[in-house]
Amino acid sequence: MKALRNPAVQIGIGAILGIVFGLVVGEWAENVGFVGDLFIRLIQMSIVPLVMASVIVATGGMSGRGTGSLMARTFAWILGFSVIAAVVAWGLAELLRPGAGMEFHGELDPTLEESAGQATGWQDTLVGFVSTNIFGSMSTAAMVPIVVFALVFGVALGAYVRKSGNRLVLDVADQVQQVVLTMIRLVMRIAPIGVFCLLADLAGTVGFAVVTSALAYLGTTLLGVVAMTVIMVAVVSAVTRLSPWRLPRKLAAQTVVAVTTTSSAITFPTVLRDAVEKVGVSRRVANFTLSVGMTMGSCGAVLNYTIVVLFLAQAGGIQLEPGQIILGMVLAILLNIGTITVPGGFPVVGMFLATSLGLPFEAVGLLIAVDWFTGILRTFLNVNGDTFVAMLVAHATNEIDRDVYDEKKTVTTEEVDVAAMEKEFERADDLD
């Protein structure tokens, strides 16, 4: 039974058994809830050092490679689609309210309750983004000040490295990141047990609404993916004047690989080949834009993470202020444009967002349980969105061959050096 060795399958089985157990035994399931709480805390304790190290490594290691108009256009389209994805997710989550059916009314962590209740003006909110004591922020897991400090520290470190050539501190930060990632991998080995206990407790408390909430969450994400796909196709068609009716056939191969593997990294060679050979994007644009898009153009992840923020708030009965919603959308975008890369998969991202916005963690286990399905949706939009961005960037410099797109001639592209892109592939899989 090779399939049973797949972590996603094991977590799925644990989730189903947990829900069934909770529905059968009712409130008694609270007695196993502490195991799920331990699982969540093991992830929580890794978030602060992981985020700090990840941001410092990402910003400290930046170089001037790839600057110019090609880079500017690529990032402009990536950021533009990411903002649209966040807005679409916000609108759908407010309209459909996928988390409202669960309405978990358990007691929140006192520190979270306190932070959630501190609604201030936007000026005070912005000032609060900068900590006067970074160690104090670390002790209370105040994630936004931590991220701001890490960004500034990383920029300063990058300038120091370029000036002195001394990479000692940057290498230490990279090693810290790798060690914490190893910790998370060890913790994830008990994820099936942790999810079982979390959902048993949740199902015993709120009943069958756990199942309907999970379906509502998946349905909201699916509608968001469909809406974003329509929007992106419309933009590409309007800008390039290429027929949208040819796109399904041209994107079919990469779509199949994406949804069956839920991996942008595995799909990348197919995306690069088809962008050149079927869509007509020049090799120059395809090589740069698709490589950047694989790790930074994840609008599917932005869409999903914004829905997660609203879902957790609704499940906890928390009414977010407009400023908090915008902050959640900004964090979802930053998580995916390369400025803030939080490796470790969805459990870490979910906990990061919940911690940053003072949201309850009780429903995170439910989202982890169905993340394989949302991973399919995220990867579908991430992969095809990269191709759309490449088409738009290529059109701006007349580097999209319309004869290739209209199937009047054929071209070939070279094979991808997979080994040379190993780190980029790892980051792409973290976002999926």
Q: What is the pLDDT of residues 337-373, one digit of tens each?
A: 654 555 556 777 787 888 778 787 667 777 877 887 8
144: pLDDT strictly greater than 60: yes
Task: Give the residue carrying structure tokens 């304790």.
Answer: 45
Query: Alpha-carbon distance 90 to 310, whole Å?
Result: 7
Domain 13-431, what fold?
Proton glutamate symport protein (1.10.3860)
Instruction: Say what the pLDDT of residue 86 is.
Output: 93
Most confident of 56-60, 61-65, 78-82, 406-410: 78-82
Query: Alpha-carbon distance 204 to 27, whole Å?
Result: 5
Q: What is the pLDDT of residues 380-411, one digit of tens each?
A: 998 999 999 999 999 988 888 888 888 877 77
